[in-house]
A and B are shown apart, each in its own frame.
Chain A
Amino acid sequence: MTQENFSARRETQAQALEAEQVQANTTGTSAGVDDLLDEIDSVLESNAEEFVRGFVQKGGQ
């Protein structure tokens, strides 16, 4: 078996495994959002209106 075939197979297995894990991770999503909302006041910058007003950018592509 060439190195390339070997790593391709390993990658396929890893990708399949990840697909299973994700299903486990994303159950109970609403509860997770609620937890984040519980603490969001301490995460958000203070004085929302002023902070957003201060975010002024110059032109870009």
Chain B
Amino acid sequence: MSARRLVGLETEYGIIRPAMPQANSTVLSAQIVDAYAQLVRDSGSDARAARWDYSDESPLADARGHAVDRALAHPSQLTDSEPTLGDCAVWTAESIALDGNDARVGDTLYQEKDATDVVMNMVLGNGARLYVDHAHPEYSSPEVTSPRAAVLWDHAGDEVMRRAAATAATLGSGELLLYKNNTDNKSVSYGSHENYLVPREVDFSALVRGLTAFFATRQIFCGAGRVGRGMLGRGAEFQISQRADFFEAEVGLETTINRPIINTRDEPHANWDKYRRLHVIIGDANLGQISTLLRVGTTNLVLSLIEAGMSPKLELADPVAALQQISHDPSLRTTVALRGGRRLTAIQIQRSYLEAAESFCAQRDLQDPDTTEILRRWRDILDTLERDPLEAAAQVDWVAKYKLMKSFTERHSVGFDDARVALMDLQWADLRLDKGLYYRMASRGLIETIFSQAEINAAVDHPPEDTRAYLRGMTLQRYAPYVVAANWDVLSFSVPGARKVSRFHMPEPLAGSRAQVGELFDAELEIAEFIEQLARRR
């Protein structure tokens, strides 16, 4: 009941092989995941990638109380089955360039590699999942309990991707470039989803009522910025959000077509009777740590308001139109219509949520450091954006990007239609520290950060200590050879000499913390003893 809550963030990264522009993106993504698996194997530990266990997934369950018929679902909704490399059973130069072009690759290590040996999906020692999602490599962070930890383990994913790309190059995949963005500006968008644990007793319609106006407007402090309009990126006007123009519905189950502001996927990956997992698909991927911090922290507070029945009663007349109108105006002066005819700016709508959160926290005397920090930052950023949006460049991704582009166009007396501006839009999100424009700005001290690269590197190797991610990550670090499969809420072990696989369920996301199971790892038990002790603590 504060800015703290169980949260996990997912990022699908854009991927290209510049030397082979038509390369099959599923194969490139598999090369990234497989390269990371090799890196883990070669790093000295005997950790192997654990196979992902799909048996508890139900992507077609709808939070409104029904399920979609499998036969009627879009193929991309079937995320509960193992992805395959399709026609490219063997990674040859030809299959990598499946879409057909005349680029040539030399001999690669993958030429003889059977796709059945390729790792497409793995669980990491920090409790995260790394896998091929459709045509993108995806990192899903381990479960954390504070906005700061959400930032840290989300940004650890960027580092995982950087290391994977560097390894892939040494393995002969050529130079693979990864981008933490959400569109190719040519009709395609890919997501960065947030997951929030919510008690099952919270009525889903209350979530829809409480969140819609908040989600349409929070982009002003966590949008990533984009040049171009509509799904095709026409024109050269700057807008606040990468994702806004790809949304078409208010509420729905889909995530790849007819995208809704509120997604109804009902797949808690935890005790179904107790929990919902609110699956938020509207956000942009953020490189800036403060944008991520605010995105998660303010959403946590608004969920607390909804649970307490204290969310502001703000109903947008047309939420999808409002989302896009706000995104299209970097001056932040645009007003959007509420039901009943009143018009408000995004800043005014956000202030209503902030004030409700402030009085809620004052009423309950909530003074933990996370809640205090998020309330302070939320108020500060709205004040700054109201004064002059460009003053928020150190904290807000879209503003930093906009400021750089604006200075560039003024210096060279060109418009936003200059080809280099389109390139800046893309290269902003390049994950290479020496090439990515976000990182170049950050290294000049122009961006506020709360974590150093050393801290981010540590989060690549270590799980959060206060959730079941600790048990998952540590198990992978210590007992990987015996873990035959794993997912968010199950670990499956195969013990030498045992006839059956033992499955350990983790229906409580907060169980399995260091406080609860740390001593099992400290004791350095043999695998059979470890499983037995673990089972006793169930």
Contact = CB atoms under 8 A, between A and B. Distances in A.
Given A52-B422, A55-B426, 12 more contacts: A25-B394, A25-B445, A26-B394, A33-B403, A36-B404, A40-B408, A48-B419, A55-B16, A55-B185, A57-B15, A60-B134, A60-B256
Given A18-B450, A29-B393, A56 B419 contact: no
In the A-B complex, the 7 residue pairs with the smallest Cβ-Cβ separation, listed nearest first, are A60-B190, A58-B135, A54-B21, A48-B423, A57-B184, A61-B191, A48-B419
B424 interface: yes
A56 B184 contact: yes
Contacts of B281: 61
Nearest to A19: B376
A8 B371 CA distance: 12
Nearest to A38: B411
Contacts of A11: 369
Contacts of B363: none
A49 B139 CA distance: 30
Interface string A38-58: 001001110011011011111
Contact of B25 (A22, A43, A54, A57): A57
5 contacts: A29-B394, A43-B440, A44-B420, A57-B184, A61-B134
Nearest to B450: A18
B186 interface: yes
A55 B14 contact: yes
A38 to B, nearest CB: 9
Given A36-B440, A43-B440, A61 B256 contact: yes
B448 interface: yes
Interface in A4-46: 8, 11-12, 15, 18, 22, 25-26, 29-30, 32-37, 40, 43-45
Given A18-B450, A48-B419, A59 B427 contact: no
Nearest to B29: A58
B423 A51 contact: yes
B426 A59 contact: no
A8 B200 CA distance: 29
Interface of A: 8, 11-12, 15, 18, 22, 25-26, 29-30, 32-37, 40, 43-45, 48-49, 51-52, 54-61
A40 B255 CA distance: 36
Contacts of B188: 56-60
A44 B256 CA distance: 31
Given A37-B408, A48-B420, A61-B281, A32 B446 contact: yes
Contacts of A26: 394, 445-446, 448
A49 B18 CA distance: 13
Interface in B78-116: none
Contact of B184 (A32, A44, A55): A55
A42 to B, nearest CB: 10
B250 interface: no
Contact of A59 (B256, B373, B403, B420): B256
Interface in B128-167: 133-136
Interface in B439-457: 440-441, 444-446, 448, 450
B368 interface: yes
A61 B255 CA distance: 5
A45 B420 CA distance: 9
B193 interface: yes
Given A32-B446, A44-B424, A48-B419, A60 B21 contact: no
B197 interface: no
A26 B445 CA distance: 7
A22 B426 contact: no
A10 to B, nearest CB: 9
Contacts of A25: 394, 445, 448
A25 to B, nearest CB: 5
Given A56-B184, A60-B134, A44 B26 contact: no
A59 B281 CA distance: 15
A61 B190 contact: yes
B448 A58 contact: no
B466 to A, nearest CB: 10
